[in-house]
Amino acid sequence: MITSLLKYVWIRLPSIQGFFYKPRKRTYLFLPINGAGLGHLTRSLAIARRLRSAQPDAEIIFLTTSIGVTLVHKEGFQCHHITPSKLLKTDAITWNKLFYRSLVNVLSIHRPLCLVFDGTIPYLGLQRAMHSYPKLQCVWVKRGLYKDSVDQGHLKSLASGFSLVLAPGELVAENEGPTTLKLAIHQLGPISLLDRNDLMNRALARDILRLPKDQPCAYVQLGAGNINGIDDVQDKIISNLREKGIRVVLGQSPIALHTKPDLRADSVIVDYPNSKYFRAFDFAVLAGGYNSVCEAVRLGLPALFIPNTETGADDQLKRVQQSLHYGPYEMMVEYSKEEFDSVVKRLLECQSRGCDLPATNGAVLAAELIGQHGV
CA distance 246 to 238: 9
Q: Give the chain's domain count.
A: 2
Given this model, what pLDDT does residue 225 score?
A: 53
Residues 124 and 245 in one domain: no
* DSSP strand pairing (247-251 vs 217-221): parallel
Residue 354 covered by a domain: no
In contact, 32 and 118? CB cutoff 8 Å: yes
Least confident of 71-85, 94-108, 314-328: 314-328
Per the structure, the complete domain to which residue 58 belongs is given by 2-189+360-372
Residues 182 and 243 in one domain: no
Given this model, what pLDDT does residue 23 score?
A: 96
Given this model, what pLDDT does residue 19 score?
A: 87
The closest of 35, 36, 37, 64 to 48, measured between CA atoms, is 64
| Angle formed at CA 175 by CA 170 and CA 178, multiple of 5 degrees | 110
**pLDDT tens for each residue of 115-150:** 999 998 899 999 999 999 999 999 999 876 666 666
32 upstream amide cis, omega within 30 of 0: no
Residues 103 and 227 in one domain: no
CA distance 206 to 208: 5
When mean pLDDT is compared over 140-149, 216-225, 285-294, 306-315, the highest value belongs to 285-294
Given this model, what pLDDT does residue 296 score?
A: 92
Residue 272 covered by a domain: yes
- Percent with pLDDT over 90 in the chain: 54
Query: Residue 364: in which H helix or E strand, if any?
Result: helix 362-372
Q: What is the DSSP letter of 273?
A: T
Q: What is the CATH number of the domain that holds 159?
A: 3.40.50.2000
In contact, 34 and 65? CB cutoff 8 Å: yes
